[in-house]
Each structure stands twice: as C-alpha cells, then as structure tokens.
Amino acid sequence: MADQYARSGDGKRPTGIPALRWEEPPEGPVLVLLDQTRLPADEAELVCTDAAVLVEAIRSLAVRGAPLLGIAGAYGVALAAARGFDVEEAAAALAGARPTAVNLAVGVGRARAAHQAELARSGDTPQAAAAALAAARALHREDAEASARMAAHGLALLDELLPAGGHRVLTHCNTGSLVSGGEGTAFAVALAAHRSGRLRRLWVDETRPLLQGARLTAYEAARHDMAYTLLTDNAAGSLFAAGEVDAVLIGADRIAADGSVANKVGSYPLAVLARYHHVPFIVVAPVTTVDPDTPDGASIEVEQRPGYEVTEVTAPQVPVAGAGGGIPVAPLGTQAYNPAFDVTPPELVTAIVTEEGAVSPVTTAALAELCARSRQV
Ligand code: MRU
C-alpha cells in the first residue's frame, strides 16, 4: 500500500487514495478507514477496533462501493477473530450490513471459510485468526490486480468502439480507488484513457442524494489532474442531446445471471438515454460482482435508505437541525422514495467489462462462460 501515498507531479497531492488499511499497534489490531462521509472537506480516518464499528461504518457509507465492501467485510472477520470476538456472529452482522452489493457477502464468506477451515484443521484460535487475515489480504491484492486488468480491457473496448479517440465519458457515482484495492472499476478505465492522452472529458454526475460523484469522483479526478466537469444528475439528458457524450462508464453492485445490473440509483435512466442517443453504455466490474445465484434483475434486493437523506442536506460541518442531523430542504414530515440502487436490464448494456475480458452482447450464456473461465484460473 505504501506506494499509493506516492506524490503526484506537482509534489503536493497524493495520486492514489488508500481507502482502508490493516494496522497492528501494541493495543491490538485495527482496521483504519478513510471516512468517506467527510470527503472532500476532511480526510479523516475512522479506526475500527471491532466488527460492530465496521458494520456501522458500512451502513453510514464511511466505507462503500462494491469491491471495497468485500475487502472491508473480509478484514472485519479477521478483526473479530484477532480480537477474540464471536466470528460467526460478526460475519453474519457484516454480511447483512447492506444487501445489494454481492461483494460484501462474498468477502465475508471467504474470510469466514478460511477461519473455519483452519480452526477445523488445527483447533488453534490464533492460527485461525491469521488464516482469516491472510484471506482478507489476498482478496485485497487480487482486487488491485483485477482493477488493473479491467482498466486495460475497458480501454481497449473504448478504443474499439470509438476509433476517433478523444473520448468524452460520462460516469455516475464513485468507482475509483476509494472503492477498491487498486484504481477501481469504471473510473480506472477513464484514468487509463487519461494517462494515454485519449480522455477528452470526464463528465461526473453529482449522484443524488449522497453526492458520491461530486464529493468523491470529482475529488479523485482532481487528484489525477483529469479534465472533468461536474453536472447535476438532471443535466445528463441535455448533455446527451447536445452530442457531448461518447460513452457511459459505470460500475456495478450486483450483476444477475441474466446480465441485469444493479448500480447506484440513476444508472438506469442513463442507460435509457444512452440507448436513445446511440451511445455505448459500458459496465465495469470484477467477476466477483456477478452473482450466478441471482437469476434476474427482479431478484436483486435493492437497499432502501432513510428518507432524511433526500429531505435534508447533510454535511459534517453544518449545524445539526433535521432528524438526520442536516439542514431540511423539504417540509417537515415529507415522505421520500430513496432506493440506493436501480437495475438496468441486460438489453440496455452494451458490454460488461471484467478482469477476464468483456462480454458483449450481454447474455446469460456469455456471462456463465466468463464466470466458468474465471473459476478455472
Ligand atoms: O451506495 P454506494 O456509494 O456504496 O454505491 C456505490 C455504487 O453504486 C458504485 O457504483 C458500485 O459499488 C460500483 S463501485 C466499483
């Protein structure tokens, strides 16, 4: 992780942003998170000493984004084991902290399985804790590797679909190093295009209501000196109509066996706009985000978030006023519809890019073949 603190060309700003790290001070192991609820104003860290603190950090979105949730969940199991908590209880609480991103349950399950296997083999509790930590570290490393491969595959696809170059890419939510052991998913592709001089503009949707685009993607894009412009989610339509978007690049929280893609709410309207305007709509996600046990979009559980996220504007620096601790922007008692994600049907997805390559057109058979190939590696 140390090289992620490397300074950028101007000598002032770190280029990579480690979203979490494992530390072992004399008081006992901890998982240190960059508190994403406080970005971009404040680069504050949140120290998790047990799984319960981490569960709360996951719910509040201090740590978030599908791949990182998997990594955090795995470290959470390791933390519970290392600190002598009930590992089964911790694993259940962590896996259930948020329902949509399949990576969370996958990451938790992987560390839990390593812990159980070592316990069954040796009966030694510290050794079992070490096995859980090794599993978390392996997942962390693999995610960084997958990220680099997704970036390469995604850039190759962009160049193939847009041979004229000078890509103007629209993205939604946040998919960079804040959600990954590496440089992310969709954002990593845009970053690769930027580094090779082929990104003309990154259009960043602000991503209501929690502003992951404005707060986090703009923060990452600025650090990399990318040419980016922030827009309200509502402005995407007129941007497409003006012919200013060459491709949409987004991540995913869960991809069903039929290729339906759950991602941050607002992704589906972008897919509809992209189809109308004949613009490629590309999903970038690691194979671990594909869930063969979820047959279709209707089977994906979409997390419903508290209404105050819509009826109030929250920021750590503002005085506490509304029920959620923010400034009310709607009359008191207003009900809000606040799904965290929406589901895009496979027929609107031009391609799904993974570390194993791209699937296009998106079909059940092609996805199954990709997953099988990945299991053989
Ligand atoms: O609610 P969040 O901020 O966790 O939602 C994150 C997203 O929707 C991301 O686009 C998704 O996890 C893909 S991240 C590579």
Q: Mean pLDDT over residues 229-236, rounded? A: 98
* Atom nearest to 184 CA in ligand 1: 15
C-alpha 290 – ligand 1 centre gap (Å): 14
- pLDDT, tens digit (0-9, with 9 covering 90-100), for 266-313: 999 999 999 999 999 999 999 999 999 999 999 999 999 999 999 998
Is-contact 294 256, C-beta < 8 A? Answer: yes
Q: Mean pLDDT over residues 14-19, rounded? A: 73
Q: Is the CB of 179 under 6 A from ligand 1?
A: yes
- pLDDT, tens digit (0-9, with 9 covering 90-100), for 105-147: 999 999 999 999 999 999 999 999 999 999 999 999 999 999 9
Can you tell me the distance from the alpha carbon of 149 to that of 155, in angstroms, rounded to the nearest whole number? 10
Residue 1 confidence class, pLDDT cut points 50, 70, 90: very low
- What pTM value is reported for the model? 0.94
- pLDDT, tens digit (0-9, with 9 covering 90-100), for 46-56: 999 999 999 99
Percent of the chain clearing pLDDT 70 (strictly above): 93
What pLDDT is attached to residue 146?
A: 97
Least reliable range by pLDDT among 13-22, 49-58, 126-135, 225-234: 13-22
Q: Is the CB of 110 under 6 A from ligand 1?
A: no
Is-contact 294 257, C-beta < 8 A? Answer: yes
Is-contact 64 36, C-beta < 8 A? Answer: yes
Q: Is the CB of 64 under 6 A from ligand 1?
A: yes
Residue in this structure with the two tokens 């190093």, named with its chain if needed: 177
C-alpha 28 – ligand 1 centre gap (Å): 31
Distance of CA 197 to the CA centre of its chain: 25
What pLDDT is attached to residue 6?
A: 32
Closest CA to 311 of 330, 326, 327: 330
What pLDDT is attached to residue 326?
A: 81
Is-contact 143 73, C-beta < 8 A? Answer: no
C-alpha 199 – ligand 1 centre gap (Å): 22
Q: Mark 277-290 as b/e (b = at least 16 C-beta within 10 Å).
A: eebbbbbbbbbbbb
Q: Mean pLDDT over residues 39-51, rounded? A: 94
Q: What is the CA radius of gyration of the chain?
A: 20
* Atom nearest to 64 CA in ligand 1: 4
Torsion of CA 183, 101, 372, 134, to 10 degrees: 60
Q: Mean pLDDT over residues 351-364, rounded? A: 97
293 is catalytic: no
Q: Mean pLDDT over residues 201-228, rounded? A: 97
What pLDDT is attached to residue 225?
A: 96
Residue 166 confidence class, pLDDT cut points 50, 70, 90: confident
Q: Mean pLDDT over residues 19-47, rounded? A: 95
Q: Mean pLDDT over residues 316-329, rounded? A: 67
Q: Is the CB of 102 under 6 A from ligand 1?
A: no
Per-residue DSSP letters for 332-353?
TT-----BSEEEE-GGG-SEEE
Is-contact 366 279, C-beta < 8 A? Answer: no
Q: Is the CB of 67 under 6 A from ligand 1?
A: yes
Give 189's DSSP letter: H
Whether 65 has a pLDDT exceeding 50, the answer reads yes
Tokens of 9: 């060309």
Q: Whose CA is nearest to atom 8 of ligand 1?
A: 264
Is-contact 291 299, C-beta < 8 A? Answer: no
Is-contact 78 133, C-beta < 8 A? Answer: yes
What pLDDT is attached to residue 256?
A: 98
Per-residue DSSP letters for 2-59?
GGGG-B-TTSSSBSS---EEEE--TT--EEEEE-GGGTTT---EEEESSHHHHHHHHH
Q: Mean pLDDT over residues 337-346, rounded? A: 98
Contacts 24+ apart (CB under 8 A), 153-157: 153/353, 153/354, 153/355, 153/357, 153/358, 154/186, 154/188, 154/189, 154/192, 154/249, 154/282, 154/284, 154/353, 154/358, 155/189, 155/192, 155/193, 155/196, 155/198, 157/282, 157/351, 157/353, 157/358, 157/360
Residue 31 confidence class, pLDDT cut points 50, 70, 90: very high
Task: Tell me the three state secondary structure of residue 116.
Answer: helix
